[in-house]
Amino acid sequence: KNPSKNRWNRPVIGTSQSRASFAARCSSSTQIQDANRSREKKGGRQFPDFLPDSYLAEIEETACLDMAASMRRVNLTPNWEGEAQPVPTSVVSTQHVADDHAPVVMLHGFDSSCLEFRRIMPLLEERRIEAHAVDLVGWGFTDAGAAPGVGPEQKRAHLEAFWREELNGRPITLLGCSLGGAVAIDFALSVPEAVKALVLVDAQGFIDGLGAMASMPQWAAKLGVSVLKAVPLRNAANKMAYANKDLFATEDAMRVGRLHCHMPNWLDNNVSYMQSGGYSLSSSIPKLAELTETHVFWGAQDEILEPETADKFRNAISNATVTMVDDCGHVAHLEQPIVLADRLDAIVRNKA
């Protein structure tokens, strides 16, 4: 039997030791900034006060609550035109790390948050891998109020600011999931000195632009985006994301995936992203072979981006490795996190 499948066929995620160490880290991480004053809820955990607490109270998953409690905001100053203003950026980081590898920076998919990494983060902690799950401007729980926009250019500048200011310009292993893969590809092409290795998980790379959505009038764009918050649509997307729908596509998982939708500027930020035109990268993807090493992971049962897309990356990037993940849909970091954590361990420690 597949050991990763056995481990995940139970309601409590991760080992008791990993949960204890993760919870201990969570309880102290909110003290990093004065602005991260927190509230005590759910089993003694303390949550940062920028999270939508009334909706967080509805969530039951231990891994989500642990990660939410460990979330912090750091002030970053991206290199945008005009007066530079700090961007309060939400991030979750591992704490007990070794110094034998490049740090891992993880980027979630469209209209989501860093809570996507709630099941893999404790596993990276166990392996002493330095990892940071970041909400880029316009997404997740980052405050985009100071940003001139939230399109590809602003996301690239924001990620570069995180790399320079928080990681001191150290080369990174950059992991992107779904549309976060497009963000990662764009960054690796634009700031190649930053990226030691690129890890793409069911990544979007060959769909250029946003089509008619980019030219919609403001009222129509707002109407279209507002539908993304609807519970029936979220439930449908939740079911499409997983191979094992009975185990993973739960109401609670839907609530986790919808939590960021209750942030104050969620609607305006998504409309702004839509009107930016999105990413157009397909013709540039072959250049990655000259710039970095690329590792592609794809769920064998992905219903959102068909598994054959992995072959497009294999054919376009001459030095890419491609791994199909069995019993897995669109989100390997949620459905098969042990498999992905083990492979990440090998990649960052040059054993892949």
Does the annotation mark 284 as catalytic? no
Interatomic CA distance for residues 341 and 348, integer angstroms: 10
Contact 147, 138 (CB under 8 A): yes
Interatomic CA distance for residues 96 and 107, integer angstroms: 21
Structure tokens at 223: 């109407």
Q: Identify the CA nearest to 74 among candidates 9, 29, 138, 121.
A: 29
Does the annotation mark 178 as catalytic? yes
Interatomic CA distance for residues 262 and 164, integer angstroms: 30
Does the annotation mark 302 as catalytic? yes
In sequence order, what E strands does the chain have? 38-41, 45-48, 72-76, 87-93, 104-107, 131-134, 172-177, 195-201, 293-299, 321-325
| Whole-Å CA distances, 97 to 69, 230, 260, 265, 297 | 19, 39, 28, 34, 24
The single residue of 101, 108, 158, 330 carrying the catalytic annotation is: 330
Backbone φ and ψ of 246, nearest 5°: -65, -40
Q: Identify the CA nearest to 111 among candidates 270, 333, 237, 278.
A: 270
Interatomic CA distance for residues 7 and 13, integer angstroms: 8
Interatomic CA distance for residues 94 and 131, integer angstroms: 6
Contact 73, 36 (CB under 8 A): yes
The single residue of 101, 302, 333, 345 carrying the catalytic annotation is: 302
Q: Look-up: residue for tokens 């769920």?
A: 299
Q: Which residues contact 115 (CB under 8 A, 6 or more apart)?
A: 64, 67, 68, 108, 140, 256, 257, 259, 260
Contact 173, 104 (CB under 8 A): yes
The single residue of 70, 178, 272, 276 carrying the catalytic annotation is: 178
Backbone φ and ψ of 178, nearest 5°: 55, -125
Catalytic residue IDs: 178, 302, 330
